[in-house]
Amino acid sequence: MKLTSTGWAEGQRIPARYAAGKPDASATVTFSDNLNPQFAWSDVPAGTASFALICHDPDVPSRGDDVNRADREVPADLPRVDFFHWVMVDLPPVLRSIDEGEFSRGFTARGKSGPETLHGARHGLNDYTGWFGGDTEMAGQYFGYDGPFPPFNDSIVHHYVFTLYALDVPRLAVDGAFTGAQVREALRGHVLAEARYSGTYTLNRRIA
């Protein structure tokens, strides 16, 4: 199976329009256009009953002590963890593409609605749900796509991996406000093929 995008070349910098955050001259960083990227796929295996799509960043600091501090950088050797930016399941087997901005246009405080979304698919929670959990103005359930917004002082460039899975079931065994970790577990034994497309992003002006 092959996954492609018109948004950027594989492995290259993701344009700011697909990010949740972008540089700002007066406030260091601010919210960006937060458009979901365009994707198309081909060479789908026989027997595909649905698709699932996950975007994750494996480079997120495991501790927040130094995050977004103007007086220091997040150390490069700090252990890193996954952060899910998009979790979507039950895309129909006849679908071969999604359009730019089809699922996300702008960043919504307290999160977009879900889990039901276009094409009969379902959105899971992304990890901004936990990130904003203690913020009285932003806390909520963040369904669907919300793009890159890495710490502006991180000393490494972050990588964003979009993975499309062809599945042998029409409905994945997750319910309610499910998470990326729950989808990964539910995928076991049901993946006929998978394809990846990646990009990079940073808000650190020193390494941009």
pLDDT band, residue 208 (cuts 50/70/90): confident
Residue 158 is predicted with a pLDDT of 98
pLDDT at residue 92, rounded to an integer = 98
Residue 208 inside a domain? The answer is no
The answer to whether residue 170 sits within a structural domain is: yes
CATH of the domain at 172: 3.90.280.10
Asked whether residue 206 is domain-assigned, the answer is no
16: confidence class by pLDDT, cuts 50, 70, 90: very high
- Residues paired with 96 in a beta bridge: none
> To the nearest 5 percent, what fractions of the chain are helix, strand and coil?
10, 35, 55
Write out the residue range of the structural domain in which residue 71 sits.
2-201
pLDDT tens digits for 142-186?
A: 999 999 999 999 999 999 999 999 999 999 999 999 999 999 999
Please identify which residue in the block is written with the tokens 């963890």: 81
Which residue, among 120, 115, 107, 101, has the nearest Cα to 183 in the 3D structure? 115
Tell me the percentage of the chain whose pLDDT exceeds 70. Answer: 100
- 207 in a structural domain: no
User: Cβ neighbours of residue 149 under 8 Å, at least 6 residues apart?
Assistant: 19, 20, 21, 29, 32, 203
When divided into structural domains, the chain yields a total of 1
* Per-residue confidence (pLDDT) for residue 27, from 0 to 100: 84
pLDDT tens by residue, 91-147: 999 999 999 999 999 999 999 999 999 999 999 999 999 999 999 999 999 999 999
